[in-house]
Structure 1
């Protein structure tokens, strides 16, 4: 027995290892089955290639763009747009939270609106923003702003009101 553990403990640990390997193996098989089914459906024409490309085509495009450096350009642009939206959302959210802190009346008026907007799944707004603004920087910045704005307002206002005035 390794490291002086009992036979019962060794059997228990071996069973745990087998179970962990089975879980990881089945997860990998599930993932491979998903991609294989997707590839077969794309090649058979079951799914629209304009909407859902095949995994092999996605990988080819990813490799081509990675080698040419085009992928880096697009990733940096998306990162800059996301950072801009986050900074705008944080700045605007902080400003609105300060206004709500200064005006308890305004806070009472806007509280139900903020609660509803916070409950709204912001990612569901993505397609609306794309239709409204096009698939460009404006949609990405607006999406990031929408995700960060309400959370910033609620958290900052909560922090302001919870702070002892002394």
Structure 2
């Protein structure tokens, strides 16, 4: 006994429609910038931690540039901050700042754009500080929002078009089949 398995007429239309609806989804929104937080232990050790501006943790290695100048006239030239091997969102300053009051400027370049400027008081018995930096300005970190139709609307229109084309194709296919004619019996 032979069993014939057939694909339902609407099956192709259903598969094409599902592919267009689920395949035409808009990409996930990308992060715009990072929020750096400047830390120091009060004795000159400085490090930076990064988080995305939407609150998500940073999981890829960061890169920032730090420069500093003290009230006494000492300066720290632009220095690259690289991530710790086990924590890509923590970027320590190699070395330490000398005692005094410092103005520190940080520019984050990777994985997103961020900026921070703060005053640190460094001393032998200084207290630790944690300075969260402001949210980056939207004009500086993000391109203007794309004008156009939302992704779900485009997907829905594509699904309706696919369903209509599938129905038209199915109807034309059934019209082209010749009708079965039964010849009259001869006597």
Q: Same fold (TM over 0.5)?
A: no
Instruction: Point out the structure with the larger strand share.
Output: 2
TM bracket (short chain): under 0.3
Flag the structure with higher helix content.
Answer: 1
Structure number with higher relative contact order (C-alpha < 8 Å, ≥ 6 residues apart): 2
**For the pair shown, which has the larger CA radius of gyration, 1 or 2?**
2
